[in-house]
Amino acid sequence: MSVVASRVRQGRILLQMAMRNLVASRVRTLVVGGIVALGVVIVVLGSSLLDSIDVGMTRSIQGSLGGHVQLYNAASRDPLALYGGTMGESVLEPIDDFARLKAAALTVPGVKLVVPMGIDQAMVSMGNVFDVALERLRADVRRRMEQGAPADAPDYEAHKAHLRRMATLLQQELRAAREIADETSGVYRDRKADFDALSTAVEGGFWETFDADPLGSLEFLENRVAPLSLDGGFTFIRYVGTDPEAFQKAFPGAQVVEGSPIPPGQRGALLGKLYAEEWLKLRAARRLDKIKEARDLNGRRIAKDEELQRWVKENTGQTRDILLQLDPVRTREAVRRLQAALGTKEEDPGKIVAALLDTNDDNFDARYRIFYAELAPLLQLYSVKVGDFITIKAPSRSGYVSSVNVPIHGFVEFRGLERSALAGMMSVLDIHSWRDLYGYMTPERAAEVRRLKERAGARTVAREDAEAALFGGGAEVPVEPVAVKPFDEAALLLAGGGRQSREDLFRRRYTQAETDTGVALNAAVILDDPRRIGETMPKLVEAAARAGMKVKAVTWLEASGIVGQSMGLLRMVLYLAVLIIFAVALVIINNAMVMATLQRVKEIGTMRAIGAQRRFVLVLVVVEVVTTGLVFGGLGAALGIAIVHAIGWTGGIAATNDTMYFLFSGPALIPRLGTASLVTSVAIVFLVSILSALYPAVLAMRVTPLEAMQSDE
């Protein structure tokens, strides 16, 4: 007991001496303590930012497409890459029976949802402005023929005038292009008949006789004139084929921002909002958006930025896209609105639209508001809108190109990834259309196969009986004649080219069993507790194996492909930055402690002369450093916490570019304080302070009374 009491008294004496030394050397203490406090502030702030970025990106990817675990066929040569890999698209072997895999996975404790997926990219046919205008006029013609609408109906006449004006603008554009073209070339000679057809469509005589044969005139415009327009064509789309209802439940980050979700059990598509902005939006409107973003977020100015100047020049010189959309009625309304908004008497539509788009730093904000308030309501800003049908084309597994038509129910945006060119472009397609597109079995295909079998009298035979069944076994096989219904072309045309069957297809509601039964490329697994990913993955593989299926299980980060790799790289860079901060703090604190120790040579020598052992001196220096670390480390932690909260109260750190927007998983980064990271940060800086004191303490131990007597200090 006396030994313990002695140790306590020694500790008390050491602490009193350490405090006295710290108070006596205020300047030195404040310098060293300030460095410690600054180190704690930097580490607390850095770790908070790092945790916030990590949590935000994890939430964005898990809640948008990745889920917690991804399953795919173990026979696949390539790894699963949801957003594409560094070597391109992954080639996966299909999961032949998703329903069986789903049933097996749901037997694993903690599994909440299993969602089928088929991720790929395909071509989308959008048509062009001529196609849209022709379809509108064709509907007018059909209405007149079916309902006997008057020949001078306003909409009908306006749509005719619109098409004539579009042909005139196209002719002017092609004439300008021909001025720099070689008219003796073979290409020009091959297209001369098309140019002549365009001239016919511009002439008044064509439109005077239009009503006599509207269907023939529309066919002429569609086949001879519309193909001359350079608009439309094909664009590429990246999408996920899935069960839309299950997808909506599993991924709250996928938000429908326009339109409505795909109805449960029905066919359809949700276009990615970022995809629509980049590829489907009216080019002048998109350039205005990009200029506004550059000005507001990045502080760029048109007068000093060549790229912004180029966008302004393209807007003023490329008004054709806007003028092509305006029929005579809307043209007059657009001119009236712009005259009032701009305070001008200009009546030429092309000139007044160009004047609106001729922006500079002084008038941009006002012109931007005028464009969206006055002109945009008269335009179709996107080449497709909610309710339209698009045609998706892709090579099937047999090698031939197949296509499906799907209705657009809305536009989807992935929260936190809405401006990521890698992750934010994704669209959503129902899994039945996806299976149709790639030639996999669907309920419609299965029904068609059954009808063909019944009609052909096909039956299942054993392998050993196949030869006899095919070539006869000596007995005559009776053949029953099959009545073939004659092809009625007129009835087909009156029915709208099979439109009724297509409408039936998209009105049909599939049962959950029909949706689950079939092929998928991969499956997203949602867990009740994301912290149990590691222990759940092998259980999922085992459950699939018991069901007779070999699958691989990977985490959402591994499945994210190039996005996951980017996250790993960014995380490594951030941790490296924190490590550098620790190293700098270690060097600075160590230098400060060395200088402080050298200044105390005489004091240490005096203590040694009166009997202080080296161990006592070592412990005394360490106690001083520990005390300094505790006091100033606590102050630094409090200051770091205050700074983190202050950043949050002021709206966070704004994302000034797309990379920062992706990192922050939104327009701003709001730092969060985690108890574990806070304690770890303070402990690390405290440890750095102690390590920094070791070398000075060793120096102090080596000081002899003789050296102290000879020192000027």
Last residue of a domain, one of 172, 202, 228: 228
Query: Is residue 197 included in any domain, yes or no?
Result: yes
Query: Is residue 504 included in any domain, yes or no?
Result: no
User: How does DSSP classify residue 653?
Assistant: E
Average pLDDT over residues 10-30: 67
Say yes or no to pLDDT of 43 above 70: yes
DSSP 243-257: -HHHHHHH-TTEEEE
Shared domain check, 153 and 48: no
Last residue of a domain, one of 228, 247, 269: 228
**pLDDT value at residue 207:** 84
Shared domain check, 518 and 580: no
Query: Is residue 201 included in any domain, yes or no?
Result: yes
Neighbours of 345 (CB within 10 A): 7
Query: Is residue 440 included in any domain, yes or no?
Result: no
Shared domain check, 695 and 584: yes
Give the integer Cα–Cα distance in Å for 602 and 52: 50
Contact between residue 406 and residue 267 where contact means Cβ atoms under 8 Å apart: yes
Shared domain check, 517 and 610: no
Query: Is residue 272 included in any domain, yes or no?
Result: no
Shared domain check, 694 and 572: yes
Counting other chains too, the contacts that 671-677 makes at CB distance below 8 Å and 24 or more residues apart are 671/45, 671/48, 671/49, 671/52, 671/644, 671/647, 672/48, 672/51, 672/52, 672/55, 672/644, 673/48, 673/641, 673/644, 673/645, 674/47, 674/48, 674/51, 677/47, 677/48, 677/50, 677/51
Query: Is residue 207 included in any domain, yes or no?
Result: yes
Average pLDDT over residues 673-696: 70
Shared domain check, 100 and 52: no
Query: Is residue 138 included in any domain, yes or no?
Result: yes
Give the integer Cα–Cα distance in Å for 586 and 591: 9
Shared domain check, 82 and 31: no
Contact between residue 491 and residue 69 where contact means Cβ atoms under 8 Å apart: no
Shared domain check, 193 and 169: yes
Banded model confidence at residue 139, pLDDT cuts 50, 70, 90: confident
Shared domain check, 121 and 75: yes
Banded model confidence at residue 619, pLDDT cuts 50, 70, 90: confident
Average pLDDT over residues 595-599: 66
Shared domain check, 543 and 598: no
Nearest to 18 by CA among 618, 605, 610: 618
Say yes or no to pLDDT of 26 above 70: no
Nearest to 713 by CA among 627, 613, 602, 604: 602
Residues 6+ apart with CB under 8 A from 603: 708
Shared domain check, 157 and 49: no
**pLDDT value at residue 634:** 80
Shared domain check, 91 and 9: no
Query: Is residue 35 included in any domain, yes or no?
Result: yes
Nearest to 530 by CA among 59, 115, 48: 59
| pLDDT tens digits along 157-181 | 888 888 888 888 777 777 766 655 5
What domain range is 108 assigned to? 69-125+512-557
Which range is most confident: 122-136, 210-224, 297-311? 297-311
Per-residue CA distances from 353 to 71, 106, 162, 408 (Å) = 53, 59, 17, 30
Number of domains in the chain: 3
